[in-house]
Structure 1
């Protein structure tokens, strides 16, 4: 199994987080071959869930978990999360391997140098850029994916919530000149934003971004941008 197969399978299982998830979303939107791999794994792995019966955890379970977390130092909690993540992937890997072994019985491998008509080679397509922007001291992150071939930006703010008083605006920080607005972030949503060619032409690997707090509707005309609450940078995947 190639690394792209593994990535597609883990995306289908919902195991990806952070930049891995953003990168996979970018590939899903820009690379038909990768989207096909995800569809393949979704169709093979989904039936595995049919044999799992529903279960209702005991009401005291969360109280016991909370008590144990409070009793363990913070560093150990991080370690525990890492171990949980490891076992999630190990279990998923076993399912993927088993499913893949069956698939090999019925699917002929494609020659490395050949592709189906109309398929875009990953080396030929413009590679997406991603940014995972931490929001202050919280575990929340703003996920941004830029698709150069479409001049489109995907902004995931699914973990953010509106306060009814402020909006947050995302800005590109060019090496020269003023900040360039990438739009007002919509809390709790995933938005697709079409960029004008001039602004899109400024986006490249390593270019920084900032998120500012503004009045409702974004920065008022003629005024300076509000205080910076988060910052990050685009990275090519």
Structure 2
């Protein structure tokens, strides 16, 4: 463009404005361009014009909602890691309270003792704001994990999913869905059963049929720790 100082950037200032909008300039080139941009009104107009032009190129493309996991990764790259949900922040305190009885249970289950002597494990799972009252129960003699809903309505067109969190560094592992009616009974493989003593159990609200990502996506309604009853 006439009347402007020369620049070492290929194509001059106008071309540099397009590359700047597209994020194609190197760090040093972008710094030099921004220094010029702060004092050149015409250059700012060039940038605005290129921004409007490039924005029109996406008009024919229909909007598609990204999968939740892709959106989370993109947001993390652009804006940094978001703060952990409240239930994640509570895990260190919850899991730090492993009782001696739970440790004894783990020893017995390792094969040193007959598993029939191992105590049953329980966790209270309540959501006062929704009136939900549930009880998680693991029976080692039958290898069955159970959830009993004692109060509260099951959400319409949604599912309640059960998650096992072995420790604060472990990702939640889905055990299955809470049944809409009656007692939920889930056979648990031995490898998973070894992780149950002292582990946290969470109930999340998910789309009907369960989480589409393999991790909790909806609100976590309740969180408790599996331990023997005194």
Shorter-chain TM-score: which interval?
Answer: 0.3 to 0.5
Instruction: Give the TM-score, by structure 2 length.
Output: 0.45
- Pair member with larger Rg: 2
Instruction: Give the TM-score, by structure 1 length.
Output: 0.43
